Amino acid sequence: MAADALAGCRMTSSTPPDEGLFPEGELAQEGDLPIWLDEPPIGLDEPPTGPDPEPAPVPEPVPERRVAERPDPDDRATATSSAVERLVVGRPWLERGHRAWIPLEPGDRPAAAVGDTVTPLTVVAEHARDTRLVSVDPRDRDPARFPPGSRIGPRDARPRRRRGSLVDEGTVLYRSSRTRLNVAVGRHREPLHARADGTVMAVTPGGISLLLAGQALAGVAAAGRAVHGRLRIAVGDPGDELRSAGLHVADAGSIVVAGARVDVETLTRARALGIHGVVVGGMAGHDLRAFTRSQARQREALHSLAPFAVFVLEGFGRRSLAGPPWELLLAAAGTSVSIFPDPPLLVFDPAATLPQVARGTLRITAGAGAGTAGSIDGPAVIQRLEEGVHVLAVAFVGGGRRWLVPLADLERFQ
């Protein structure tokens, strides 16, 4: 039957026209097509503004019956509010048990072993800067003597007449033959700290894995190196943008909360002032890339500055921290926090008392009213919006108002 129904299109020379994909008469059968095709177009009460990041204006109040009138009477897909809430994507909130990596480069020497308990100031590795590769003919040519990652000093190497002999202690990178070890040697060495309380879970050539003891918040992006410091709120409102003039010398050593957005100039000044890190709602992608490049240049410099990191919590562009994130940061102000770039994590002091978000709290993340917390007030229905797209939407009540929100633009704190 189907072979007759699905004709496809083909060039015809002798064959008669075939029936269509959906032969006439079958098209209108319920179940053959998605039922939303028959629904009338229904627009959002406020035109969506995209992920605009400015604390999006909460829409004007609308009469409650407006939403109630709109759902298509044919669409009887209804559910209780709690059932609908389960259709909202969950946002992991403060969680314990996160893992973070402290990246290592060739020539770096781990100083911690699996199972070690660490604190923010524990030295977990020694970082080699300005690394170069030296070929070494070891005195002891037993292949088991110098495995990759082991240390080798000038006394372990046979003297070489030409340039390039080992004058400092180095780390064996690989062995290319019985008589040739390739050793990574750094001109300068500096300690790498754990930057948070936790336990060492793995030590690999690429990094050290830490199981963090404190609660952590996952972000969208981060750049720089792991840091820790006292949290300070540098803006008066979660929708504000921190400018370089808003930074003070007194902030040195702290991690500042920069509001909805920060630019690369402010980050550069913060780093120069000795601030350890910045927590921000959003950041332009090109600023983040520029900052990452700047950090790389800093690391290559002869006298590199102290570690510095930026942690982006909500998204790219301008993003308000309004709602539970702001309340959390206000509560954590003055306590010690850490930023890990890989993966992007903001880690709180294990001893800190942090406000809990009521389980199931809902918040709008995009479009009109972004940042507003509230609750669902009605069934989920598939709606055809003014621009012709079909989305699963719900009536949402928040900030004393009620309007229609695409389900995918909501998040549920877990």
Query: Of residues 226-245, which lie at the interface with another protein (CB under 8 A)?
Result: none
Q: What are the tokens at 285?
A: 């992608």
Q: How far is CA 88 from CA 11, 111, 318, in A?
A: 47, 45, 24
Q: How far is CA 242 from CA 286, 315, 316, in A?
A: 17, 16, 16
Quick one: which segment of 116-124, 232-240, 302-310, 404-412 binds another protein (CB under 8 A)?
404-412
Q: Measured from the CB atom, is 129 or 230 closer to another protein?
A: 129
Q: What residues contact residue 30 under an 8 Å CB cut-off, 6+ apart?
A: none
5 interacts with another protein by CB under 8 A = yes
10 interacts with another protein by CB under 8 A = yes
Judged by CB under 8 A, the residue of 67, 88, 166, 270 near another protein is: 88
CB of 353 to another protein, least distance (A): 29
256 interacts with another protein by CB under 8 A = no
CB of 44 to another protein, least distance (A): 6
57 interacts with another protein by CB under 8 A = no
Torsion of CA 312, 212, 304, 285, to 10 degrees: -20
**What φ, ψ does residue 353 adopt, rounded to 5°?**
-95, 115
Query: Of residues 99-118, which lie at the interface with another protein (CB under 8 A)?
Result: 101, 103-106
Work out the angle at residue 358's Cα, subtended by the Cα atoms of residues 353 and 359, and round it to the nearest 5 degrees. 115
What residues does 133 pair with on adjacent strands?
A: 184
Q: How far is CA 397 from CA 78, 364, 401, in A?
A: 18, 11, 6
Judged by CB under 8 A, the residue of 81, 165, 182, 304 near another protein is: 182
40 interacts with another protein by CB under 8 A = no
Is-contact 161 139, C-beta < 8 A? no
216-218 and 309-316: which strand pairing? unpaired
CB of 126 to another protein, least distance (A): 17
CB of 253 to another protein, least distance (A): 29
CB of 170 to another protein, least distance (A): 12
CB of 283 to another protein, least distance (A): 9
Q: What are the tokens at 286?
A: 């090109």
By CB under 8 A, the count of residues binding another protein is: 95
Quick one: which segment of 47-55, 227-235, 245-253, 354-362 binds another protein (CB under 8 A)?
47-55
Q: Measured from the CB atom, is 33 or 272 closer to another protein?
A: 33
DSSP codes of every residue in 395-408: EEEETTEEEEEEGG
201 interacts with another protein by CB under 8 A = no
First to last CA, the chain: 49
Q: Measured from the CB atom, is 88 or 332 closer to another protein?
A: 88
75 interacts with another protein by CB under 8 A = yes
19 interacts with another protein by CB under 8 A = yes
Give Cα 217 to chain centroid, integer Å. 9
